[in-house]
Amino acid sequence: MRLILVAVLLLTAALILASFVMAESLPANELGRIMILEYHKIDYPEERWTRTPENFRRDLEMLYARGYRLQSLTALLEGRVTVPAGTTPVVLTFDDSSPGQFRYVDRNGTLEIDPKCGIGVLEAFLKEKPDFGRAATFFVLPGASRPNRLFNQPEHEGRKLRWLVENGYEIGNHTLWHANLGKYDEAVVRTQLADAQTWVQKHVPDYKLRTLALPHGVYPKDVTWALTGTTKGTTYRHEAILMVTGGAAPSPFSARFDPVHLPRIQALGRDLKGWLDHFDKNPADRFVSDGDASTVTIATTQRDRLKPTLPKSLKVVER
């Protein structure tokens, strides 16, 4: 039995090492696709919308071993790919501000982040693998009923939002209380989006919610209502709208990149592994960084796939 266990562990280690070596040896391909992963509950038991802390940790380990590194959503939208050469950016998103995403616990009179919550798991992993990068976007519900109102600890909700911003994480709009925007008229849609920002700014003054994750994946009757507007003195402007599904996203340098319809991958064990396996088998479809945020490295045969309006500060390099 012990020999079998050792053999399994050795095989697992060999597979992880092989995946990492393969990622390191891939040529730069900055027109490949990128995974924007969508998490909801970090809790027990494992269910359709729930990832256990242990499985979330395994996701991070798998991503790291296969050569993926965290990239912020805002940097992706701005075309600033900052992950090291030979690695692939991956974006983490968390919807609904459920308590398992960010929880404080009292340890002998000292307030600490629960190591079993999403942030606790992520921060512990980053201490071990600091080169993984620190980035994620939390799409919060500031006016929802419990337990989804700003992580379900009312006495600490401001502290949590400030901690996220101060530590390099981003806060996104998910409406005030998870409203299905397709059901409402213009006034209600705009109020839902503006009020969500107003509530966040009570705790983090002047913070702008730059991205919107659609509740239920439903667009309003007129998409422009969701992009920008002013209601009750609050102006909101969203640079991207994220869907609930859709698969891997096009490169931000691709002509197919559409920030108003940005697809995501629901971070379930089977789905995530399926996409990782897909990119292992189809490396030409995988974004691989050249390590230089000022250049876009592509295959010579791909020039016609480039976005026609790239910033002048970016230099296109063909290989």
Is residue 101 included in any domain, yes or no? yes
The band of 268, judged by pLDDT with boundaries at 50, 70 and 90, is: confident
Q: What does each C-alpha distance from 79 to 53, 114, 238, 251 come to in angstroms?
A: 32, 34, 16, 9
Per-residue pLDDT at 8: 40
Per-residue pLDDT at 2: 56
Per-residue pLDDT at 269: 76
Mean pLDDT of all residues belonging to the chain: 93
By the 10 Å C-beta count (0-12 exposed, 13-18 middle, 19+ buried), 260 is classed as: middle
By the 10 Å C-beta count (0-12 exposed, 13-18 middle, 19+ buried), 155 is classed as: exposed
Residue 12 has pLDDT above 80, yes or no: no
Is residue 8 included in any domain, yes or no? no
Cα 17 to the center of its chain, rounded Å: 25
Is residue 17 included in any domain, yes or no? no
Is residue 308 included in any domain, yes or no? yes
**Pairing label, strands 88-95, 68-70:** parallel
pLDDT tens-digit series, residues 216-242: 999 999 999 999 999 999 999 999 999
Per-residue pLDDT at 292: 98
Per-residue pLDDT at 24: 55
Q: CA angle, 150 as apex, 129 and 120 as ends, to 5°?
A: 20
pLDDT tens-digit series, residues 112-140: 999 999 999 999 999 999 999 999 999 99
pTM: 0.92
The kind and range of the H/E element at 253 are none
Per-residue pLDDT at 25: 77
| Domain count along the chain | 1
CATH number of the domain where residue 181 is located: 3.20.20.370
The band of 101, judged by pLDDT with boundaries at 50, 70 and 90, is: very high
Structural domain boundaries, residue 254: 30-318
